Amino acid sequence: MVETARNRNCAKLPVKNKTDLHMTSGWHRVWALIKEPEMNKFWMALAMLPMATHAVASAPAVGDLAFVSINADEDGFALVSFVDLAAGSQLFMTDQAWDGGQVGSGGAFTGAGGVLEWTVDSAFAAGSVVRFSAVQSASTIGSTHGSVLRTSGNMSLALTEERLYLFAMDGSGVVPLAAIGNVSDFSAELTGSSLDGASLTLSGRVDFAEYAGPRSGESALTDYRSKVLDPTQWTIRTSTDEAATVPKMTSFSVVSAVPESNAYLMMLAGLGMISVVAHRRR
């Protein structure tokens, strides 16, 4: 049999006995004890690990996103997503009123207002914030992520008695996901929308309002939802021109007790595989 360079090198390694594997810190001594078929399994496991650490983004559900700002002077607003949004996802926003019908049983938006369509061109990471600006104008409308366009009507945000809904479309029709409004009886309007725990009610005139609570320190992104939907956590301005005001765009983050990077997981997998192989060689 032809002696390869690797075989020659392995043959020269001073591996005296099985305990030598545990006494040395040299990785080359470990490789000397691992057979080639087992090594192939080891590398295959490492190659598949990154795919296992990333969850596939699914369609957002009620409460998976929330409004974090609204600007009636500029006709803009911002949203945070507590879940990953896949590239190609499409969501919609409207300032029309909900008609009080049940979702999936004829409930729909009605009245004056406009509808915007947001397309997530590339993956949108959970915790990220997206801003929509100048939505009243087809020529100046913009978003900080993906693309947005007006599909119907005219969205011009009012200082009072205004609302904004985020919704998706499925086979049964409209699916409301989040809402914000300073309508006098907003809770009554929300009847049938399934947004009881996913909406924020403000009061009086609102030129500009923005979530001012914490965006870091929680162990799960969904833990921020109750804070974002608490009006006492918001800064509200009612008498100044806010047309040039830019909302806070800081992403929401979580505190992780255990590092979850691919590098860390790959290291653990490698050590585990080596331990198994070494145990088999005893």
**Does the structure show a pLDDT above 50 at 211?**
yes
Which of 39-43, 81-85, 268-272 has the least mean pLDDT? 39-43
For residues 277 and 80, the model is more confident at 80
Are 277 and 146 found together in one domain?
no
Confidence grade of residue 41 (pLDDT, cut at 50, 70, 90): low
Render pLDDT for 101-150 as a digit per residue (tens, 0 to 9): 999 999 999 999 999 999 999 999 999 999 999 999 989 999 999 999 99
- With beta carbons less than 8 A apart as the criterion, state whether 129 and 251 touch: yes
Looking at the predicted structure, is the pLDDT value of residue 270 above 50? Answer: yes
Looking at the structure of the chain, the number of domains it has is 2
The answer to whether residue 191 sits within a structural domain is yes
Q: Please state, rounded to an integer, the average pLDDT across all residues of the chain.
A: 83
Domain membership of residue 18 (yes or no) is: yes
The pTM score is: 0.74
The dihedral through the CA atoms of 35, 40, 43, 48 has a sign that is negative
Q: Identify the CA nearest to 194 among candidates 178, 180, 170, 172.
A: 178
Q: How large is the average pLDDT for residues 242-259?
A: 91
Do residues 96 and 169 share a domain? yes
CA atoms of 71 and 237, how far apart (whole Å): 10
Cα 166–chain centre separation: 15
Quick one: average pLDDT of 82-98? 98
Domain shared by 46 and 118, yes or no: no
Interval 205-229 mean pLDDT? 99
**Within this chain, do residues 69 and 48 fall inside the same structural domain, yes or no?**
no
Q: Is the pLDDT of residue 33 over 50?
A: no
Structural domain containing residue 138: 65-237
Q: What is the pLDDT of residue 44?
A: 54
In contact, 182 and 201? CB cutoff 8 Å: yes
Same domain, 177 and 100: yes
More confident residue, 52 or 84: 84
Q: Examine residue 253 and state whether it is found in any structural domain, yes or no.
A: no
The answer to whether residues 40 and 71 belong to one domain is no
**Residue 22: predicted pLDDT:** 47
- Strands across the sheet with 208-211, in order? 142-143, 129-133, 76-81, 65-71, 208-211, 234-237
Residue 135: predicted pLDDT: 98
Q: Which residues is 210 bridged to in the sheet? A: 69, 235
Q: 89 and 48, same structural domain?
A: no
Residues 186 and 209 in one domain: yes
From the DSSP assignment, how many helices (H) and strands (E) are in the chain? 7, 14
Same-domain status, 9 and 132: no
